[in-house]
Structure 1
Amino acid sequence: MKILQTIESLNPEFGGTVEAVLQLTRAFARLGVYGDILTLDGPEQVWETGLPPEQVHRAGPPRTFYRYCGALKPWFRRHLAGYDAVLIHGLWRHHSAGTWRALRGRATPYYVVVHSMLNPWFNTEGFWKHARKSLFWRAIEHRVLAGARTVIYTSEEERRLAQQSFRPYRCREVVLPLGTAPPPAASGEEFLFRYPRLRGKRLALFLGRLHPMKGCDILLRAWPSVAARHSGAHLVMAGPDSAGWRADLEALARRGNIEQSVTFTGPLQGAQKWSAFAAAEVFVLPSHCEAFPYAVLESLGAGVPVLTTEQVNLAGILRPAGCALIGQDTEQSTAENLLRWFALPDATRTAMSLAARECFHEHFEIGTAAGRIVDFLRRDAHAAAGLKSTPG
């Protein structure tokens, strides 16, 4: 079987969707399934993926904020026959509509992995942004979903919420959780060498895009109550400034008189990222909405318990596993959970760390997730073949 995955870009600053595509491609190979990636990146945009160059195809450069790429359809005309299925990762850019247009009337099926991009929370970001998305939805995006063989959600909650965002909404749905690879063995020394003032501190780690969806402002407003009661506590804010928000967040820390107990690191990749997890005692993600946050999976794999919200669609798995404290996406709830964590006895924190690793291995290893997807695609192909062979 040969699978093509399409995505806007492999720029690592685009977050979990990029990580999902890379992890799936590697896992497919271990299952004997060949996987290529097609992006809207230009020829000069070569990101570190760890994959052979021949598996990554760049149709760009794109134009406009929509990342329109006129070379996309000709690329499909030349290469589509070599693939058994196409996975579209994400919406709202030309890679989704362009793939839909290129595959209309063709025998090769395509599937859409939504990656939380239909969560109703995004409709609260502002009138004009919602109006633009509504226009795009009516004109194009609802056709992308309607034309797909299946739309893939990573949790039942993500599927349920997606149905509330826009009309019309018509598609065949399935829930297939994703996953990630077990983290490498790591020590906190590399991270602490880079940030020596953090040595000996009790580190709470936020790792993700500095974006309003992630609740970064909530976390910083909650932190003063922690800093006032636990002088050894320190908050690490790690991640790219994808929304141009870092200066505002740093100003918020200054206004709260917590700049001495908060460190902004910028993006952390590779060994630095794993060292940060090793140095941290808890991972904090007070998001307003998340379908399948890869940083949470990485934290569990590293044995770092999680403080997050009901609005993260993994809460139903994390809570019974005993590896997380779950609250609401508010300043008060975030502060309460942080204070609760820092007051826990050592034995309880150790037990939660062990539970985090157990939860990861039981639910989130990428090999199991990739196997589910491949099995589904094969069953779907057989079902489609059976329908075609049935006398009409």
Structure 2
Amino acid sequence: MKVLMVIPALGNVYGGPTKIVIELAESVAKLGISVDIVATNANGSTNLDVPLNQWVIENYYRLQYFTYLDLLDYKFTGSMTKWLFKNVSNYDIVHTNAIFSYPVLAAHWACQFRKVPYIATPHGMMEPWALAYKAWKKKLYFNLLEKPSLQTAKAMQMTASTEARHINTFGLKIPLVFVPNGIHSKDFEFLPSPDIFYQKFPETRNKTLIIFLGRIDPKKGLDLLAPAFAKAHRKFPDTHLIVAGPDNTGFLPTAENYFIEAGCKNAVTFTGMLTGEMKYAALAAANIYVAPSYSEGFSMSVLEGMAAGLPCVITTGCNFPEAGMANVASIVDIDVEQIANALIQLLQDSQAAKKMGDRARQFILENYTWDSVASKMVSVYQEIINDGTVKNANLRSKQ
């Protein structure tokens, strides 16, 4: 089986989707599947320093980057379009990632022209909060271009089970399959020493640490977290908040001001983006994980927080009801008071918080590893290639 994955860009500034596609590609390829990825060299306001129009060989898969013209955020790319129309017929199936971006649209057109089956993953971009941003532009683009191209997809992947109710409102007559994101269990077998994190951020030493791990972005709910944390901090003065993530849209000054206005800025550390050992050391140092998001596809950082054994406070916008049903996380409405009260409850009962974190770790390692995700995804690919559609009811969403 030969699989082509298409994504508008793979820059780190784009957060979850970049990590998800790379991790999925690697995990699928480990099963003996040939996997290639194509993307533009976009990286926010800059470009990736990578070879163009040639294969970059990774451990299990290949990457190829193309130049682009950023018009209205759609990343128009003539070189990638030409390549897709010429080469897409070399693959058994194409897997596109994201919507509202020209490279994905070009891939759909090439697949239609060459009669190659394709599956689409919106990565939360069809959630109401995401659609409300630049709504008029998205509505026009979707109705004129996106919807006709999605209608001929063989399936749409949901990474969160809750996506179905929103996707169904668009009137797309295609099967929806639920295949979540995952983590590598080996990354969480032995976390590094918290001291690695303390040495770089000494103000966090000897504190009860609450960690937010995500992009500095309006949808992440930092405007909610600031007053919520301030309330918790007044009750527990030894608490300290870690805000760990990149600022790829210039939103950082606004985010910092939320905490200034809430009167707790002196108990907050903005670390910037953490990767590798430093990220895992931060998780090892933390006592509680919090995700106050308005909207997520299926958050990688929530999985990481839970896999690290942290008790988690997440909003309904994180689209992870399974964690609530399994009693492995505190799921609250998108509301300042509810976020604050959930944090306070965990801080008040450290023993119960520890037990929640232990349950969370076991739940993720049993159900959300990339090995199991890749197997499900390959089964979907195989069904589409063999039968032209997804028929296995165990892989379909509950609609």
TM-score w.r.t. the length of structure 2 is 0.90
Partner of 1:378: 382
Q: Where does residue 256 of structure 2 map in the other structure?
A: 250
Q: Does 1:296 align with 2:302?
A: yes
Secondary structure (helix, strand or coil) at the match of 2:177 reads strand
How far apart, CA to CA, are the structure 1 residues paired with 2:305 and 2:343? Answer: 17
Matched, 1:368 2:368: no
Decide whether the 8 Å contact of 2:294 with 2:318 is kept in 1: yes
Q: Which moved further from structure 2: 85-94 or 55-64?
A: 55-64
CA change 1:63–1:243 in 2 (3 A) is: closer
Q: Which runs of 5+ in 2 are unaligned?
A: 392-399
CA distance in 1 between partners of 2:346 and 2:249 (Å)? 29
Whole-angstrom distance in 1 between the partners of 2:57 and 2:347: 38
Counterpart residue number, 1:263: 269
Q: Deviation of residue 156 (structure 1)?
A: 2.8
Match of residue 242 from structure 2: 236
Counterpart residue identity of residue 58, structure 1: Y
What is the match of residue 86 of structure 2?
78
Name 1:390's counterpart in structure 2.
none
Question: Which 5+ residue runs of structure 1 have no aligned equivalent?
Answer: 388-392
Q: Distance in 2 between matches of 1:334 and 1:81?
A: 50
Letter in 2 for 1:265: T
1:60 is aligned to 2:67: yes
Aligned residues of 1:207 and 1:295 also touching (Cα < 8 A): yes
2:331 to 307, 326, 338: 326
**Do the aligned partners of 1:180 and 1:365 also contact (CA within 8 Å) in 2?**
yes
SS state at 1:56 partner: strand
Aligned counterpart, 1:38: 38
Letter in 2 for 1:324: A
Q: CA deviation at 1:53?
A: 10
Alpha-carbon distance between aligned partners in 2 of 1:143 and 1:242, rounded to the nearest angstrom? 31
Once residues 70 and 279 of structure 2 are traced to their aligned partners in structure 1, the CA distance between those partners, rounded to angstroms, is 32
- Residue 113 of structure 2 is aligned with which of 105, 109, 131? 105
Distance 1:46 1:372, change over 3 A: farther
Q: Residue 163 of structure 1 aligns to a residue in which SS?
A: helix
Query: How far is the alpha carbon of 1:41 from its aligned partner?
Result: 1.5
What residue number does 1:358 align with? 362
Instruction: Please report how far the alpha carbon of residue 300 of structure 1 lies from its aligned counterpart in structure 2 after TM superposition.
Output: 1.5
TM-score by length of 1: 0.91
Percent identity reads 27
SS, match of residue 19 in structure 1: helix
Amino acid at match of 1:364: Y
- 3-state SS in 1 of match to 2:130: helix
Q: 1:88 aligns with which of 62, 79, 96?
A: 96
Query: CA 1:42–1:264 in structure 2 vs 1: closer, same or farther (change >3 Å)?
Result: closer
User: Any idea what SS the aligned residue of 2:365 has?
Assistant: helix
Please point out which of 169, 172, 175 is paired with 1:169: 172
Conserved? CA contact 2:295–2:318, under 8 Å: yes
Cα distance, 1:5 vs. partner? 0.6
- Where does 1:133-144 land on structure 2 (aligned, <5 Å)? 133-144=138-149
1:20 aligns with 2:20: yes
Separation in 1, partners of 2:35, 2:107: 17
Cα deviation for residue 172 of structure 1 reads 2.8
Q: Counterpart of 1:146 in structure 2: which amino acid?
A: Q
Deviation at 1:272, TM superposition (A): 1.1
1:325-344 alignment runs, 5 A limit: 325-344=330-349
Cα 1:146–1:102 shift into 2, 3 Å: same
- 1:357 aligned partner, one-letter code: R
User: 4+ residue runs of structure 1 moved beyond 6 angstroms?
Assistant: 47-50
CA distance in 1, matches of 2:216, 2:57: 25
